[in-house]
Amino acid sequence: MPVHSIINISKYHTKTFMAKDFFTREENYSKWYNDIVQKADLAETSAVRGCMVIKPYGYAIWEKMQSALDKMFKDTGHSNAYFPIFIPKSFLSKEADHVEGFAKECAVVTHYRLKNDPSGKGIVVDENAKLEEELIVRPTSETIIWDTYRKWVQSYRDLPILVNQWANVVRWEMRTRMFLRTAEFLWQEGHTAHATKEEAIEETIRMLEVYTEFAEKHMAIPVIKGLKSESERFAGAVDTYCIEALMQDGKALQAGTSHFLGQNFAKAFDVKYSSKEGKMEYVWATSWGVSTRLVGALIMAHSDDNGLVLPPKLAPIQVAIVPIYKSQEELEQVCEKAREIKRMLEAKNISVKLDDRDTYKPGWKFNEYEFKGVPIRIAIGMRDLKNNTVEVARRDTLEKATYQEADIANKVEHLLEAIQDNLYQKALAFREDNTVKVDKWDEFVDILDNKGGFILAHWDGTAETEEKIKEETKATIRCIPIDNKTEQGKCIYSGKPSNQRVIFARAY
């Protein structure tokens, strides 16, 4: 996108800077990931096992995601509401599959009061304050919501209900990883109620499309839309749809799910309406969600060995301006120009940080913004004032160029678009390079062990085969692509006939 006057371009290297205290992807992918989370100031481990503190910079990314998604939800007719964090234990067991799926990871509240330890030190649970019915800290809200919907629905005129909630949920996981899997996480959960099956299925797919658009347009991550196999299905759903993304280490990551719940919850919670014809019918349901896990996806999809790389649309700071100067007078002169440019950029809704701190040196700031994934850095010094230029560095390619200052806001705006697009294209190319059709078991195993990525292979459709493959290779069926072509073949494992390929991968 050569929309600007480039005087010179030079590639620059940061090899020596992080050398000792930062792992590369090659050396140790999970350490590299943790380093980015920590050093880019996204989050840190907390005093509570399995829970993390999301720091301001990390939370700002989540807020950008929230506001984009929230708008998309509103645009598709949904409203936000809020339901309790506590769910009576009995609610959970009303839907058989649902309770089976979540029972093992529920936090339970049993008492409502503490008292001074009789022995004098600290406080203890007051045994006299035992709850009559224990409360579950929500792992998801279907039960409490459907118990509520029963009161909201009497007639077909009350439908559909299109509600979303932004909330925290708790799933007591054994092993946790920053953003990808923590005991408590933030998410949104949409819960809709419909008069007909068709309408509910339509909603399920509509929200899957919303997630797809968000992933590709905002996160710059290409995803595959698909249907989960029975064993990967949400507990209590009839069908679970998902979007699957591929991370740089060749592992898959489920980035969002949309469930068609049929009448399972309506029946469990007795939610009925009288139709136009005056007949009592059970309501049809959907639920759909994405979580702070997306921040993890963002990191693993784009970042490099120099730190975080953020797509412009989700970057809390899109442009960082670093003044270069010697004296206070120079600082003021340079900052005056910088503020002018900042105003012009902000007029285009570009978020800009002018870093005029005198307590850090330019080089230090360069590294700081690079590590934090700021898409564009502008440096302005006395030389630039003289020549009416600015130095522009883009994070995705690490290229630096000198731009004529004239029309700078347009140039930066276009560059942001170019970066957004480049990140998507790069991620797409990576996924294409790492998606292969495989027909032989040996090759299947070899690719999983040595290359990773998505494997398109035939599957006989049975849960037994899926389970065997999982046991032997740790790979799971990520999804059955939604617009899959039928193709005759033999199951990669059992050799039994199959009429379509499904996607296998090791996953987060």
Q: By the criterion CB under 7 A, which residues form the site for RNA?
A: 12, 14, 17-18, 22, 30, 34, 39, 45, 48-50, 101, 104-105, 171, 173-177, 180-183, 185, 232, 234, 254, 257, 291-293, 306, 324-327, 358, 361-364, 366-368, 370-371, 377, 379-384, 390-391, 393, 398, 400, 474, 508
Tell me how far CA of residue 304 lies from CA of 22, 24, 27, 214, 298, in angstroms.
11, 8, 13, 22, 12
The one-letter code for the residue type at 49 is: R
Q: How big is the chain by its Cα radius of gyration, in Å?
A: 26
Output the smallest distance, CB 400 to RNA, in A: 6
DSSP 402: E
Q: Is the dihedral of CA 366, 370, 372, 376 positive or negative?
A: positive
Return the number of the residue (20 or 151) whose C-beta is nearest RNA: 20
- Residue among 18 and 72 whose Cβ is closer to RNA: 18
For RNA, the closer CB: 18 or 469: 18
Which residue type, as a one-letter code, is found at position 75?
A: D
Q: Where are the alpha helices (DSSP H) in 352-458?
A: 362-371, 382-387, 408-433, 441-450
- In whole angstroms, the minimum distance from the beta carbon of 175 to RNA comes to 4
User: Which one, 366 or 459, has the nearer CB to RNA?
Assistant: 366
Give the SS3 label for residue 109: strand
CB 190, min distance to RNA, A: 14
Nearer to RNA, 175 or 485 (CB): 175
Instruction: Please report how close the Cβ of residue 361 comes to RNA at its closest, in angstroms.
Output: 4
- Number of neighbouring beta carbons within 10 Å of residue 210: 21
In the chain the first and final C-alpha atoms are separated, in Å, by 36
Contact 169, 118 (CB under 8 A): no
How big is the chain, counted in residues? 508
d(CA 253, CA 3): 36
User: Distance between CA 271 and CA 147 in Å, rounded?
Assistant: 8
Closest approach, Cβ 445 to RNA, in A, equals 16
Shortest CA distance to 229 belongs to which of 499, 498, 507, 481?
481
Between 157 and 383, whose beta carbon lies closer to RNA?
Answer: 383
Cβ atoms of 42 and 52 closer than 8 Å: no
Burial class (CB within 10 angstroms; exposed 0-12, middle 13-18, buried 19+) of 484: middle
**φ and ψ at residue 321, rounded to 5 degrees:** -110, 125
CB 31, min distance to RNA, A: 9
* DSSP of 193-229: EESSHHHHHHHHHHHHHHHHHIIIIIS----EEEE--
Minimum CB separation from RNA for residue 435, in Å? 20
Query: How far is residue 476's CA from residue 382's CA, in Å, rounded to a whole number?
Result: 58
Instruction: Report how far residue 438's alpha carbon sits from residue 473's, in angstroms, rounded to the nearest whole number.
Output: 15
CB of 102 to RNA, least distance (A): 9
Point out which residues pair with 307 in neighbouring strands: 304
* Nearest distance from C-beta of residue 14 to RNA, angstroms: 4
Q: How far is the CB of 55 from RNA (least distance, A)?
A: 14
Complex with RNA: residue 286 or 498, whichever CB lies closer: 286
Q: Is 54 left (phi over 0), alpha (psi -120 to 50) or beta?
A: beta
Q: Which is nearer to RNA, 142 or 368 (CB)?
A: 368
CB of 107 to RNA, least distance (A): 12
Is the Cβ of residue 164 or residue 257 nearer to RNA in the bound state? 257
Q: Given the complex with RNA, which of 48 and 108 has the nearer CB atom?
A: 48
Q: Pick between residue 160 and residue 296 the one whose CB is nearest to RNA.
A: 296
Burial of 442 (0-12, 13-18, 19+ CB in 10 A): exposed
Tell the smallest beta-carbon distance from residue 7 to RNA (Å): 12
Rounded least distance, CB 370 to RNA, Å: 4
Q: Pick between residue 285 and residue 290 the one whose CB is nearest to RNA.
A: 290
Pick 151 or 175: Cβ nearer RNA? 175
444's tokens: 């299947």
Q: Can you tell me the distance from the alpha carbon of 185 to that of 168, in angstroms, rounded to the nearest whole number?
A: 5
